[in-house]
Amino acid sequence: MVSPDQNSSSQSPARHLRYELITLGDELLLGLTANGHLTFIGSQLGRRGVALQRNVTITDEAPAIAKQFSESWANADVIITTGGLGPTCDDRTREVIAEVLGQKLVFDVAAEKAIADRFARLGRKMTENNLKQAYRPERAELLPNANGTAPGLWVEQSGKVLCMLPGPPNELQPMFVEQVLPRLAKLGLLLDREAYVQLRSAGIGESALETKLQPIFDRYGDALNIAFCAHQGQVDCRLSSPTDQLSLPQLDEIAQECGRLLGEDLMCYGHDSLAKVAGDLLRAGEKTLAVAETATGGMLASCFTDIAGASKFFAGGVVCYDNEAKMQLLDVPECLLKQHGAVSPENAVAMATGAAERMCADYALAVTGYCGPCGGPAENPIGGVYIGLYSPCGVWSKKLSIPGPRSTVKQRAVNAALDWLRRELVRTHRGATVQPQRSAQA
Amino acid sequence: MVSPDQNSSSQSPARHLRYELITLGDELLLGLTANGHLTFIGSQLGRRGVALQRNVTITDEAPAIAKQFSESWANADVIITTGGLGPTCDDRTREVIAEVLGQKLVFDVAAEKAIADRFARLGRKMTENNLKQAYRPERAELLPNANGTAPGLWVEQSGKVLCMLPGPPNELQPMFVEQVLPRLAKLGLLLDREAYVQLRSAGIGESALETKLQPIFDRYGDALNIAFCAHQGQVDCRLSSPTDQLSLPQLDEIAQECGRLLGEDLMCYGHDSLAKVAGDLLRAGEKTLAVAETATGGMLASCFTDIAGASKFFAGGVVCYDNEAKMQLLDVPECLLKQHGAVSPENAVAMATGAAERMCADYALAVTGYCGPCGGPAENPIGGVYIGLYSPCGVWSKKLSIPGPRSTVKQRAVNAALDWLRRELVRTHRGATVQPQRSAQA
């Protein structure tokens, strides 16, 4: 294993370590539940310089667990398992894996107390089967669970690490961030900070972005590694130094230089979403936002309502499928809808204006269009979308033509609207106190 | 392998076959994209009597593909792969797997023509690298791709089946349903219809449901297998006959009897969502619906806007975070908000009424509450939610107390509101033309 002191370079000591994730659960294989653990753990590891090598989803049955765990344990350096630690007879992870590891299960009095305390705190009676969760492999450590009864388990054996986590996301996620990542970092198995410096751009294509930044990159040659990742109208650019020639402060400085060159095309440093960046700008300027949408069906509103504390800047949203709703809720004139139709620049402007005025908001976004599967008239086929922006300086519309299936059209229309608002907010506040925020790279 | 004629029983011939799914893509392991292929393919197979045994997600690299495919091919009967069939140098599935199978790649003129035709139809120029997609293992068949350039590939070898599918969901999903399922059914590797008869209930707990139906189940003893699956306020009950003693028409008859006993607690036969069932009832009665919500942030509206053709019955929705929006968009009186607060039965009634009146809808649902992470006052802690229902017969509110994390509170509040509407619609239309629809069990 790698010693902790090699940990200060900008590259992960874990480049050559094999990480595997085993997700347990019939409900995953039956398609009843999406495998959010892969998305969460994969991205968390990636940010610390670890590329997850494999994720295996298996059933809850003991032979399947034993077979898969034996194979993975023989090949991997770090194994993370999720699920199967609960109180019911379906929960077999602890027992089966202890046996493969050749460890006895022992009753842990501290774990018993934590479980009993939790039931007492919630004023509920603890059934006998809950005590199953107080057993641990004899050489395992407990990872306390602040949000549930089953503690996580941490095992170091034969130069390898095994980490068993409970299945519910609200239990697993804080346990992973607060306990597992620091333990892995302490052992030098991943970085104790982000593995790369990320710039996130919006509204500029991958090749245009590369062309714009190439003169900066050229100065550093092989010392600088650049990775682009494009997703629905955004392009992320990740800077790292494969040979450790560039320190983290140097990478930061290069990112800042890129950011200055990109100007408005820079959305943020780090991992924030478009809605988060726009929301932070609104909050900083003490402004509010309203939204109005048709075919995107609430997707634009939910970008904001998913943000904790959004009520500080988000006044509300209207999903108006039929013209009556547009007229009644947003004061769109009937004659405008008759003359120009609901998918028109005129209606995008009217919806944005109506949303801002009705909800007493400083800014408003509107999206109206044909997202499929049914298209509009020839001049407005599927993917023909109008977005509207209302601001204290005026109100405008823009036409988009987005190729692809319904889900792509919806997501890109929403992102285009969010980016337009973001640019308007950056422009308005430029020179004032607000600039795109630097995210902590802790 | 099982011969097709054994296929007429209610049980899958595939009970003892091992199905594995290999999902390829660095973007999955990095957590950039959710693994929707597992959810889709797992549920499609489950409905045809096949329990997917394992899903393995690996990187795009050739050695990883070769190693995993070799291992899976040695153990499984049917292997499905997704991704890596496209035109770029990252796409290596075809080449690597052909080598493991010991098959040469051959250029397929029909595939070339399909790709060239697609480019011509879209008026785009075909780059040279697209021709890579016209190669196939010499003994593979092509699965035409109606929505993209890369055809799927179908291989039968050594008594096993391999099916390679393209990664984009809008290409994979129709290909799987229209081509892969019928081919597997024809070989007797899964059923050519649903493997079980499903009743879906709402608003009744799993144990209460079981108690209610047990007298019916008791009459059939071991001939009838019953599986319950509870999810966020709904409980599915799946009836099958493990020993094939009961035919499908007999299972249908038992399900109908259960349905009659359940009355309003029966949501539907089959797989429809609460919103789909409520929407069908609205459509059948030529009625319209409006919704108004606070903390659920658009989730209620999106249940309806996700349904194709929802504009026939869905007037629109309002997400009103601040009181100004409630007053301006829904005519909630300021004095009501001041006296009773936004999270109150009075406001749930006022929001539902305002939504119905403003959007000229026959019915309206309202949801207002504390979903977390911040709670309200002591009398309304997190999970304290009021729902309101407006109908042609009157307007009412109901209080819910939902334990659990934010996502659970939101989903259960939305489901409770949808189920209340559904029950009201069933009651109103009872004796008339509308009854919960029987889904096709094709």
| Residues written for chain B | 442
Domain assignment present for A441: no
Region A303-311 average pLDDT: 87
Q: Which amino acid is at A77?
A: D
- Provide the 3-class DSSP secondary structure of residue A273: coil
Q: Where would I find the beta strands (DSSP E) of A50-202?
A: 54-58, 78-82, 105-107, 135-137, 141-143, 152-157, 160-165, 197-202
Q: ipTM more than 0.90?
A: no
Tokens matching residue A116: 């009993």
pLDDT digits over A368-395, tens only?
997 766 666 666 667 789 999 999 999 9
pLDDT > 90 fraction of chain A, expressed in percent and rounded:
72
Query: Does residue B442 sit within a domain?
Result: no
Give B399-406's long-range contacts (Cβ < 8 A, gap of 24+).
Answer: B399/B345, B400/B369, B404/A170, B405/A147, B405/A169, B405/A170, B405/B372, B406/B371, B406/B372, B406/B373, B406/B382
Residues B262 and B284 in one domain: no
Residues 216-255 of chain A whose Cβ lies under 8 A from any Cβ of chain B: 229, 231
Chain-chain contact of A305 with B297 (C-beta, under 8 angstroms): yes
Is the pLDDT assigned to residue A6 strictly greater than 80? no
Res B427: pLDDT: 92
Residue A276 sits at φ, ψ, to 5 deg, of -65, -45
Q: How far apart are CA A271 and CA A440, in angstroms?
A: 10
Picking from A46, A64, A308, the nearest residue to B30 by CB comes out as A46
Within a domain: residue B338? yes
Alpha carbon B387 to chain centroid distance?
A: 25
- Written as tens digits, the pLDDT of chain B (442 aa) is 333 333 334 445 556 899 999 999 999 999 988 999 999 999 999 999 899 999 999 999 999 999 999 999 999 999 999 999 998 888 999 999 999 999 999 999 999 999 999 999 888 888 888 999 999 999 999 999 998 999 999 999 999 999 999 999 989 999 999 999 999 999 999 998 888 999 999 999 888 899 999 999 999 999 999 988 888 888 999 999 887 899 889 999 999 999 999 999 999 999 999 999 999 999 999 999 999 999 899 999 999 988 888 889 999 999 998 888 899 999 999 999 999 999 999 999 999 999 999 999 999 999 999 876 666 666 666 778 999 999 999 999 999 988 877 888 899 999 999 999 999 999 987 755 444 444 444 3
CB nearest B32 (choices: A231, A295, A298):
A231
CA distance B315 to chain A (A): 5
Window B:352-371, CB contacts with A under 8 Å: 358-360
A57/B59 touch (CB, cutoff 8 Å), yes or no: no
Contact of A104 with chain B, judged by CB distance below 8 Å, is answered with: no
Whether residues B265 and B156 share a domain: the answer is no
Of B39, B288, B321, the CB nearest to A34: B39
According to the model, what pLDDT value does residue B305 have? 87
Give the nearest partner residue to B38 out of A28, A290, A297, using CB atoms: A28
Give me the residue label for tokens 């934590």. A114
* Chain B residues closer than 8 Å to A373 by CB: 308
Closest-CA distance of chain A to residue B45, Å: 8
Supply the CATH number for residue B254's domain. Answer: 3.30.70.600
Q: Do B52 and A30 touch (CB under 8 A)?
A: yes
Cβ <8 Å between B298 and A305: yes
What is the secondary structure of B125-181 as a DSSP string?
PPPGGGGGGGEEETTPEEE--TTSSSPEEEEEETTEEEEEE-SSHHHHHHHIIIIIH
Whether residue B202 sits in one domain with residue B176: no
Alpha-helical (H) ranges within B24-124 are: 26-29, 36-47, 62-75, 93-101, 109-122
- Structural domain span for residue B261: 197-269
CA–CA separation, B216 and B213 (whole Å): 6
| B417 lies in the same domain as B280 | yes
Domain presence at residue A434: no
CATH number of A179's domain: 3.40.980.10
Residue of B nearest to A329 (CA): B329
- Look up the CATH number of the domain holding residue B425: 3.90.950.20
Task: Look at B34 and A36 and tell me if their CB atoms are within 8 Å.
Answer: yes
Burial of A370 (0-12, 13-18, 19+ CB in 10 A): buried
Q: How far is B106 from chain A (nearest CA, A)?
A: 30
Q: Cα(B335)–Cα(B18) distance, rounded to whole angstroms?
A: 65
Residues of chain A with C-beta less than 8 angstroms from the C-beta of B358: 325, 328-329
Do B43 and A32 lie within an 8 Å CB cutoff? yes
Q: Three-class SS of residue A214? A: helix
* Angle CA B173–B113–B97, to nearest 5: 55
Which residue in A183, A178, A150, A155 sits closest to A165, CA to CA? A150
Return the residue in B21, B24, B38 with the most chain A beta carbons within 10 A, the one to mutate for interface testing: B38
Using CB atoms, pick whichever of A46, A68, A298 lies closest to residue B301.
Answer: A298
Task: Tell me, yes or no, whether B191 lies in a domain.
Answer: no
- For residue A329, give the nearest of B33, B298, B329 by CB distance: B329
Q: Which of residues 27-66 of B touch A (CB under 8 A)?
A: 28-36, 38-44, 46, 51-59, 64
Same domain, A202 and A313: no
Number of H helices, E strands in chain A: 15, 17
Which of A29, A59, A147, A409 has the most B C-beta neighbours within 10 Å, making it the best mutation to test the interface with B? A29
The strands making up B225-231's β-sheet, listed across from edge to edge, are B225-231, B234-240, B197-202, B266-269
Pick the last residue of a domain from A151, A186, A221: A186
Same domain, A182 and A74: yes
**pLDDT value at position A10?**
41
Q: How far apart are CA A235 and CA A249, in angstroms?
A: 23
CA dist A60 and A136 (Å) reads 19
Position with higher pLDDT, B3 vs A77 = A77
Sheet holding A234-240, edge to edge: A225-231, A234-240, A197-202, A266-269
Residue B113 sits in the same domain as residue B23:
yes
CA distances from residue B75 to A62, B39, B178, B220 in whole angstroms, order as listed: 18, 22, 27, 37
Domain membership of residue B21 (yes or no) is: yes
pLDDT in tens, A139-193: 999 999 998 999 999 999 999 999 999 999 989 999 999 999 999 999 999 998 8
Residues B37 and B108 in one domain: yes
Tell whether B352 and B411 lie within a shared domain. yes
Q: How much is the pLDDT for B362?
A: 97
A188-204 mean pLDDT? 92
The beta-carbon neighbor of B328 closest among A56, A231, A358 is A358
User: Could you give the number of structural domains in chain B?
Assistant: 3
Record the tokens describing residue A397, joined without a space. 């519309």
Of A29, A311, A316, the CB nearest to B329: A316
Q: For residues A384 and B307, give the distance between their C-alpha atoms in angstroms, rounded to a whole number.
A: 20
Among chain B residues, the shortest Cα distance to A359 is held by B325
Residue where a domain terminates, one of B208, B240, B269? B269
Closest CB from A41, A329, A360 relative to B324: A360
* Cβ A243 vs Cβ A213: under 8 Å: no
Has residue A279 been placed in a domain? yes
Instruction: Confirm whether B438 is domain-assigned.
Output: no
Give B32's contacts in chain A (Cβ within 8 Å). Answer: 43, 229, 231
Q: Among all residues of chain A, which has the CA nearest to that of B49?
A: A30
Q: Which of residues 144-203 of B touch A (CB under 8 A)?
A: 147, 169-170
- Cα separation, A27 vs A90, whole angstroms: 12
Whether residue A403 sits in one domain with residue A325: yes
Q: Please state, in angstroms and rounded to a whole number, the distance separating the CA atoms of residues A382 and A404.
A: 9
Query: Residue length, chain A?
Result: 442
Among candidate residues A222, A237, A269, the one where a domain is terminated? A269
Interatomic CA distance for residues B137 and A430, integer angstroms: 58
**Contact present, A213 and A201 (Cβ < 8 Å):** no
Q: Do A359 and B170 touch (CB under 8 A)?
A: no
Average pLDDT over chain A reads 89
Select from B35, B294, B327 the residue whose CB has the most chain A CBs within 10 Å, as the one to mutate to test that interface.
B35
Same domain for B138 and B285? no
The Cα–Cα gap between A256 and A262 comes to 10
CB A194 within 8 A of CB A47: yes
DSSP-H helix ranges across A307-439 = 323-330, 334-340, 345-358, 406-429
- For residue B156, the distance in angstroms to the closest alpha carbon of chain A comes to 24
pLDDT at A1: 35
CB atoms within 10 A of CB B146: 12
Are A57 and A132 within one domain? Answer: yes
Interface contact flag, A302 B305, Cβ < 8 Å = no
How many other C-beta atoms can be found within 10 angstroms of the C-beta atom of residue A231? Answer: 13
The shortest C-alpha distance from B245 to chain A (Å) reads: 25
Q: Of chain B residues 371-400, which have a CB less than 8 A from chain A?
A: 373
Instruction: Give me the phi and psi of A3, to 5 degrees please.
Output: -80, 155
Q: What count of CB pairs under 8 Å joins A to B?
A: 218
Q: What's at A156, amino acid-wise?
A: E
